[in-house]
């Protein structure tokens, strides 16, 4: 049996994965306990993506501010 993978590297991919899992749950293709575990992982991943995006924005602002003052 081939391994299944959900791409969750971006917020868009997380949203698509959550949609896929919700549809699988509605169609009884996945049990609720497994869906809950995957959705929890998606939520943790989304939180990490948001932190990374905020850190990147802060770095860009700091770079702009330090370069603009000279």
Q: Please indicate, yes or no, if residue 5 is contained in any of the structural domains.
A: no
Residues in the chain: 70
17 within some domain = yes
Residue 22 lies in a domain: yes
With respect to residue 6, please indicate whether it lies within any of the assigned structural domains.
no
pLDDT tens figures, 2-54: 888 889 999 999 999 999 999 999 999 999 999 999 999 999 999 999 999 99
Instruction: Answer whether residue 19 is part of any domain.
Output: yes
pLDDT of residue 67: 83
* Per-residue pLDDT, 68: 59
Give residue 63's domain range.
11-68
Question: How many whole angstroms separate alpha carbon 22 and alpha carbon 19?
Answer: 5
Q: What total number of domains does the chain contain?
A: 1
CA quadruple 4, 22, 40, 54: dihedral sign: positive
Within-domain flag for 1: no
Query: Residue 70 above 90 pLDDT?
Result: no
């Amino acid at each position: 049996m081939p391994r299944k993978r959900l791409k969750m590297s971006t917020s868009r991919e997380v949203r698509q994965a959550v949609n896929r899992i919700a549809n699988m749950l509605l169609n009884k293709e996945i049990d609720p306990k497994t869906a809950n575990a995957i959705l929890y992982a998606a939520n943790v991943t989304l939180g990490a993506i948001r932190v990374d995006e905020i850190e990147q924005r802060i770095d860009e602002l700091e770079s702009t501010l330090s370069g603009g003052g000279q």
